Each structure stands twice: as C-alpha cells, then as structure tokens.
Amino acid sequence: MLSGSLLNGIKARMYGFGLAAILSLALMAPVAVYLVRPAAILASLLALRSKWNEPSMPDAHECTGRWSVPVTGRDSRWIPAFPETSATYFLLPVATRHDGRPLRFELAGDFPMARFMSFALYDSDSGRLLSSLRDSEIRPYVESVNPFVKKVERDTPDRRFVVRVAPAGYFADLMPNKLTFPKDVDYVTLILRVYRPDDDAAGHSLDATGGVGLPRVHAYHVDDGTPVPACASAWRRPRLDVDSKQQAIDDAIARDQKARDGKPFPFYARHSGIPGPFPDPHVAFGFTNVNRALGDVVTIRFRAPSFFNSTSKSRFVDTRTDVRYWSVCLGGRRETNTVGCVADAETSADKEGFTNIAIIPPGDKELADAATARGMSVLYWGKWISGGYRVIIRFVENETPFARSYSRVPDLAMDRTSVQPADLEPYEAGKVLGDFGAYGTYLSRKQFLDPGMK
C-alpha cells in the first residue's frame, strides 16, 4: 500500500504534467491556427496591439482614442491584407449604435502633407466597401483650402476639413464630405490611408500622419443630436482566407506558369482589390502569383506610368501625370502580409524605357550586385511564407483615369470553382495595356548571373 507522502508526490507530478500539457496546448494552438489560417492570426494580433494602446479612460464625448496603431508596411510581415510599405493605414472600428440608438460621427482634422490620402468606410464583419472619399474630393472647412487640388500650394497652413459619417438617408443629397453606411450594418471600420508623407526642412520624413496628427472624432445620436459619452471599442475580424473560387484561379495560374517552362508569364487585374477584405477603391490593382520552386529568381518587366514625385519639393500637386503613385509589392498569398515593396521614385528605366525588378533570395550579395549593375530594383523572397507568393502592382489613380491602368483590364474574378489555364488568356493585362502590362520570368541563379542575360 502506498504511503501518503508517496501518493502526494505522484499527484504533484501528475498535476505538473497536466499543467505542462495545458500550457503546451495553449501555446501550440495559435501556431496550429497560423498554419491553417495565417491571415486570421495576423488580424487578431493587429486588434490586440491596437486595443492595448487604447486609452483606459477615453475623453468624454470623443472617439479619437479608438484609432488603431499605425498600420504600416514597415511592420508588414505581421500585418494582413497586403499593406503597402510606403503608406500608413489608420483604422477606426466603431459600433453604429449606442444603447440601441443609431449614431453619426464627425471627424475634424487637417489635410496631411503627403502624396495622397483617402477615407474609406467598410462593413467590419465582411470587409465590404460602403463609401469613400479621396483627397481631392474633400471640401475644405471655412477659411481653409484643400492642398490636393489644382493651384493650391501644398504647404498651406490653412488646411482644415470635416468629414461626416452617418446611416444612409441621414444627409441631404448635396451635403459635402459624407460617408454613409446601410442602416442594418451594426459595425463599421473607417480607414484613413496616407501615402508617402513629405520630408521636413532637414530632409527627414514627417510622421505617418503627414505631420498633422489624426482627426478628432466625435459621436452623436442620430435622433436628437446628443453626444455619446464615449465610443466602445468594436474590433471585428472579417474573413481573410483565400476562398475556393480564388483558389481555383490561383491553381490555374500555377499550372499555366509551369507549362510556360521559363517563358514570360502575364499579370492580371482585380477591380475589387487584391483578394480579401477592405479593398482600396482609389487604386487599380495588377497581380500574379509566383512560386520559388520554379526559379531562384523572378524578373518583372513593364513600362511604368509617369507619377507625381512629391519628394521633388513641388509647390502644387501635379494632376497631369498618369498616376499619383505606383509600386510593386511581394507578399504571402495565404498570409496576406507584405514581404517588401519597390516604390515609383525608387526605380529607374532602362534605355528602352522599361522598369525591371528582380526577386532574389535574401542575403545573396552576388545576385543583388548583378541586379543593381543591370539597373534593376530588388525584392527578396520572405520567410514564414507557407502558401506561395503574390506580386501586387498598385496604380493610385490621379484626377484623370490613366488610359493604360489595370482598371481597363477585365477583372479576373470568376464565379466558379474550376478554372483551366486556357480560361486565363482573355484576362492577361498585356493584351490590353501593351507595354504597361507587366510580365514575369523565372530564372535559375546561373541563368541570372550569365553576362548574356537580357
């Protein structure tokens, strides 16, 4: 018969083993979910970071403290929804009701000193776009001016605006600066996008808000206009995973590229944004997928549009360029994160007027030097990418739509779960855009280093 002390020792060890097992499961669960749904884990981490930074005692009648942490491509490995590295995204997730009563919101702020800015309102649960305003569409406040319109100096000190958010039907038709949402939507997320903040007098980039801070946000009851004491935090998590229809397209792209056996492969267009929630309505997207198993190096070649170079100290926004901004980014297809981007001002054209970009293994100095010697910009394959890569080309539209924009290419969004490589041909960007439609090529390391490689 076991003594009491021995029994207690056995119980203690069993307890210890049980506690260790529970802790192990607790630690392994997020890892297991990441392997199956990596984008969902990244979205949850963003929400936790933002909630951690929310004030414990928000100001009375204010929602300003509910803005998220800056979502920037500089932290892109841990941020979902394919963020752009030269842009910063500020998210404001709010409930549309308080004590069962519908709400409206007012945002008062300054136009940023930056290349581009916009507001877009989304259904928090689906990520569906509801309403949007680009910088040049925002009417300035009394005695202020909008620096994003023609003949207004970009460094003007009088740059105030007020944007209003409310249920559909609340605003008069001619009310300026309005964003609306359906009355049956319970949670909305407002996203402020700021691209390429200007440099200060010392040549250093201004902060992520473009040197003006975030807009102050107030909430009011729709029925009687009384202010809401404080906004409740309302983070939701829309589905970020690749659905079966997009998976069918991705599988067809993979088979098509493999069958080309080293010959150039095309890019395509998505009008609703790269697959996933929170599409940017002011950007034309080109995309393709790439697989490192088909080549150590991928080269990308296209004729780039002209752009407004805000780093040139121009007094005015140039609305005559093809686009306001463009970039090429590499990200994880399943993770929806961003590994890196090359922006317009960071590239150069070859003697034929084409922009050339090479995707190479990280840390390979010989490949990097060879790419630089050929005048190519460089992106690097990433780490912790579990399901292949997506290459994304962004054209931020200027005042006049660009005739060779990806918005002119048929939208590769087939409503079916079986797609063959031959089905992709009508959607190839190069067939519509000519030289402005990008093509990629897989190369081995040896092929890329060959002095005769063109």
Q: What is the mean pLDDT of residues 378-389?
A: 89
170 plus 248 within the same structural domain: no
Separation between Cα atoms, residue 385 and residue 401, nearest integer Å = 35
In the prediction, which pLDDT does 2 show?
46
CB atoms within 10 A of CB 411: 14
Beta pairing class for 101-110 and 160-167: antiparallel
pLDDT tens-place string over residues 25-69: 344 444 444 444 444 544 555 555 555 455 444 455 678 988 988
Residue of 370, 329, 328, 375 whose CA lies nearest to 348 = 375
In the prediction, which pLDDT does 275 show?
56
128 plus 250 within the same structural domain: no
Separation between Cα atoms, residue 231 and residue 148, nearest integer Å = 31
Question: Is a pLDDT exceeding 80 seen at residue 401?
Answer: yes
CB atoms within 10 A of CB 35: 12
CB 350 within 8 A of CB 356: yes
- Residue tagged 């403290």 (tokens): 65
Identity of the highest mean pLDDT range in 28-37, 147-156, 171-180? 147-156
253 plus 217 within the same structural domain: no
Separation between Cα atoms, residue 419 and residue 307, nearest integer Å = 36
For residue 391, give both structure tokens: 């290459």
270 plus 154 within the same structural domain: no
Mean pLDDT of the chain: 85
Whether residue 16 is contained in a domain is answered as no
Q: How many helices (H) does the chain have, and how many strands (E)?
A: 6, 20
Whether residue 203 is contained in a domain is answered as yes
Separation between Cα atoms, residue 447 and residue 429, nearest integer Å = 26
Q: How many domains does the chain have?
A: 2
141 plus 275 within the same structural domain: no
Give the DSSP letter string of 122-176: EETTT--EEEEEEGGGSPBPTT---TTSTT--TT-S--EEEEEEEETTSS-TT-S
291 plus 326 within the same structural domain: yes
Predicted TM-score (pTM) of the model is: 0.86
Q: Give 268's pLDDT tier (boundaries 50, 70, 90).
A: very high
Q: Give 81's pLDDT tier (boundaries 50, 70, 90).
A: confident
CB 397 within 8 A of CB 271: no
Question: Is a pLDDT exceeding 80 seen at residue 312?
Answer: no
Inter-axis angle of helices 38-53 and 4-36, to 10 degrees? 100
CB 400 within 8 A of CB 308: no
Range of the domain at 131: 38-221
Whether residue 327 is contained in a domain is answered as yes
Question: Is a pLDDT exceeding 60 seen at residue 451?
Answer: yes
